[in-house]
C-alpha cells in the first residue's frame, strides 16, 4: 500500500516531534503493509511556515536514519497546504511542493479550515486547474460544513477536485460524526485515495490495512485497492522515493 498523506518528518509541524518518533511511525507503517509514504507536512503561513527547503532537509535526515535502521520503506515528500489568501501568490512563485500527477496535471494536496469551506473555493480550484493543477482536498469528511450538509461539496465536485479520505475517520477513531460522513461519501465513491494522515504514535497512527478492509466491506474490493494502491501509484509515478533531494534554493 502507498500512503499519500502523513506527518512523519521530524520536528517541522504538529506531527512526529523528533527522529525517534518518526522512525517508530515508519515501523508501524511497515507492519501495517505500507511500502511507500509521501510525507506531507503542513504549509500554513503564521502557524507552520515550511518551505521546499525545510521539507527537503527533514526528508534527507529521515532517509539517512532509514538506511541506518534498515527499515524497509520508501519515502518522498510534498506538503499539505492550507487554503488561505497566500495560496495563489505562493503557487505563482513556485513555492508549493506537488504531490504528484493525475491525468496530465500536477496534484496539490489542499486543506480547508476544519470549521468551514471558505466562500469562493470552487473558483480557486478552477483557477488552479487553468494553470495545470489538479487540487486534492484532504479529509473533507472532517469538515464541519460537510458534516452538516455533504451537498456543499457539489461545486468542488463539479470543479473536478480529487478527494482524500483519512483512514481513522472511517474506522471511527475520530468520532461518530467523522465516521458517518466518511461512510456516506465513501458509498458515493467520492474519494480518489485513502491515507493515514498519521501524526504521532497516539494521534492517527497508521491503520491503512484495517481501513482498506472496511472500504471493501462497505463498497467492493476493487475500489478498496484503487484507494490505497492503484490511484496512489498513478499519482506518485514520477516521484523519486530513493534519490536524496537537492538542497539548492528554489523559487
Instruction: Tell me the three cell numbers of residue 108.
Output: 496539490
pTM of the entire predicted model:
0.94
pLDDT above 70 covers a percentage of the chain that reads 96
Q: What is the pLDDT of residues 10-66, one digit of tens each?
A: 999 999 999 999 999 999 999 999 999 999 999 999 999 999 999 999 999 999 999
Given this model, what pLDDT does residue 210 score? Answer: 98
Distance CA(236)–CA(122), nearest Å, equals 25
Helix (H) or strand (E) holding 83: none
| Gap between the Cα atoms of 211 and 85, Å rounded | 34
Reported as a single tens digit per residue, the pLDDT across 119-131 is 999 999 999 999 9
Name the residue among 238, 198, 172 with its Cα closest to residue 32. 198
Mean pLDDT of 127-150: 98
pLDDT digits (tens, 9 = 90+) for 90-118: 999 999 999 999 999 999 999 999 999 99
Burial class of residue 176 in the structure, from the number of CB atoms within 10 Å of its CB (0-12 exposed, 13-18 middle, 19+ buried): exposed
Ranges of each domain in the chain: 2-235
Residue 202: the pLDDT is 85
Domain 2-235 CATH class label: alpha beta
Residue 240, pLDDT > 80, answer: no
Is the pLDDT confidence value at 142 over 70?
A: yes
What does the block give as the cell for 134? 489538479
Question: Phi first, then psi: what are they for 34, rounded to 5°?
Answer: -85, 130
Amino acid at each position: 500500500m502507498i500512503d499519500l498523506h502523513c506527518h512523519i518528518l521530524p520536528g517541522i509541524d504538529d506531527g512526529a516531534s523528533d527522529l525517534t518518533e518518526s522512525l517508530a511511525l515508519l515501523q508501524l507503517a511497515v507492519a501495517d503493509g505500507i511500502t511507500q509514504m509521501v510525507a506531507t507536512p503542513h504549509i500554513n503561513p503564521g502557524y507552520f511556515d515550511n518551505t521546499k527547503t525545510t521539507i527537503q532537509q527533514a526528508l534527507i535526515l529521515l532517509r539517512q536514519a532509514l538506511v541506518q535502521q534498515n527499515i524497509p520503506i520508501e519515502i518522498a515528500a510534498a506538503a499539505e497546504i492550507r487554503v488561505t489568501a497566500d495560496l495563489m501568490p505562493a503557487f505563482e512563485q513556485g513555492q508549493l511542493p506537488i504531490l504528484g500527477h493525475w491525468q496530465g496535471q500536477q496534484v496539490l494536496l489542499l486543506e480547508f479550515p476544519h470549521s468551514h469551506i471558505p466562500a469562493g473555493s470552487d473558483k480557486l480550484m478552477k483557477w488552479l486547474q487553468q494553470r495545470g493543477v489538479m487540487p486534492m482536498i484532504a479529509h473533507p469528511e472532517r469538515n464541519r460544513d460537510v458534516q452538516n450538509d455533504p451537498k456543499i461539496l457539489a461545486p468542488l465536485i463539479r470543479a473536478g477536485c480529487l478527494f482524500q479520505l483519512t483512514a481513522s475517520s472511517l474506522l471511527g477513531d475520530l468520532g461518530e460524526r467523522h465516521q458517518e460522513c466518511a461512510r456516506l461519501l465513501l458509498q458515493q465513491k467520492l474519494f480518489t485515495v485513502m491515507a493515514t494522515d498519521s501524526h504521532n504514535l497516539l494521534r492517527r497512527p497508521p491503520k491503512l490495512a484495517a481501513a482498506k478492509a472496511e472500504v471493501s466491506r462497505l463498497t467492493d474490493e476493487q475500489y478498496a485497492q484503487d484507494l490505497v494502491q492503484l490511484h496512489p501509484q498513478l499519482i506518485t509515478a514520477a516521484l523519486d522515493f530513493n534519490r536524496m533531494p537537492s538542497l539548492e534554493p528554489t523559487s
